[in-house]
Amino acid sequence: MEVKLMRNILGANDEIAAQNRKIFAERGVIVMNLMGSPGSGKTTLLEKTLANLADKIKIAVIEGDLFTAKDAERIERAGVEVIQINTAGGCHLDAPMIQKACASLNLAEINFLIVENVGNLVCPAEFDIGENFKSVVLSITEGDDKPLKYPLIFKESEAALLNKIDLLPFTNFDLQSAREDLTTLHPTIKIFETSCTTGAGLDDWCAWLLGKVAR
């Protein structure tokens, strides 16, 4: 019975995700679903990304969180349009939430929509929101075992960012092992080693995003 219920929930979600995807395609908007654990550095990475790209393409952001608008307030200071979604305890964003949020956006005026999902390595990967691609942020401080412990989110993502790389000397994170595990799960995944403190890897990440939007 639980399996049947889950299928019904995902089926209803996928129908609306398909509607979202159709609307995004008609408006010429590329959508990225940005995922990762709480504290992995998603919002800081997003701030740095917006600073790099905001004068090159038209961007809007949807911020997902359980409570508060703290992240949306940070993104708003970057000068882009932002919509906050509070899930009131829900562990992920879903397609109906995105559909509702987009009703407040002028999609005709943007090229790139970034959805920062709720901090979680499990649920966000299971729900299609109508995005073009997913990216996942993994902080060095979380440990190199996470790709194999939470494989779905890494299998589903086109890019993995090994973030806070500046802290590598102060941890036992095995960079080679993490890379091997990532490519075992997803042979074509694009891996970026990034630091929002030093700026390492951010130019390559932003150039990759520009390529995705251009295509």
- Least confident interval from 83-87, 96-100, 106-110, 175-179: 83-87
Q: Contact 164/195 with Cβ under 8 angstroms?
A: yes
| pLDDT above 70 (res 69) | yes
Residue recorded with tokens 């995902």:
10
Neighbours of 147 (CB within 10 A): 26
- Predicted confidence at residue 1, as pLDDT, reads 44
**Mean pLDDT, to the nearest integer, of 174-178?**
97
- Predicted confidence at residue 72, as pLDDT, reads 82
- Predicted confidence at residue 77, as pLDDT, reads 85
Helix (H, G, I), strand (E, B) or coil at 77: coil
**Mean pLDDT, to the nearest integer, of 79-105?**
91
| pLDDT above 50 (res 167) | yes
Sorting pLDDT into bands at 50, 70 and 90, what band is 101?
very high
| pLDDT above 80 (res 27) | yes
| pLDDT above 90 (res 32) | yes
Helix (H, G, I), strand (E, B) or coil at 87: coil
**Mean pLDDT, to the nearest integer, of 74-80?**
85
Percent of the chain exceeding pLDDT 70 equals 96
**Angle between the N-to-C axes of helices 202-214 and 42-53, in degrees from 0 to 180, rounded to the nearest 10:** 70
Q: Contact 121/102 with Cβ under 8 angstroms?
A: no
- Predicted confidence at residue 128, as pLDDT, reads 97
| pLDDT above 80 (res 5) | no
**Mean pLDDT for the chain?**
93
**Mean pLDDT, to the nearest integer, of 170-176?**
97
- Structural domains of the chain in order of their starting residue, each with its CATH number: 2-214 (3.40.50.300)
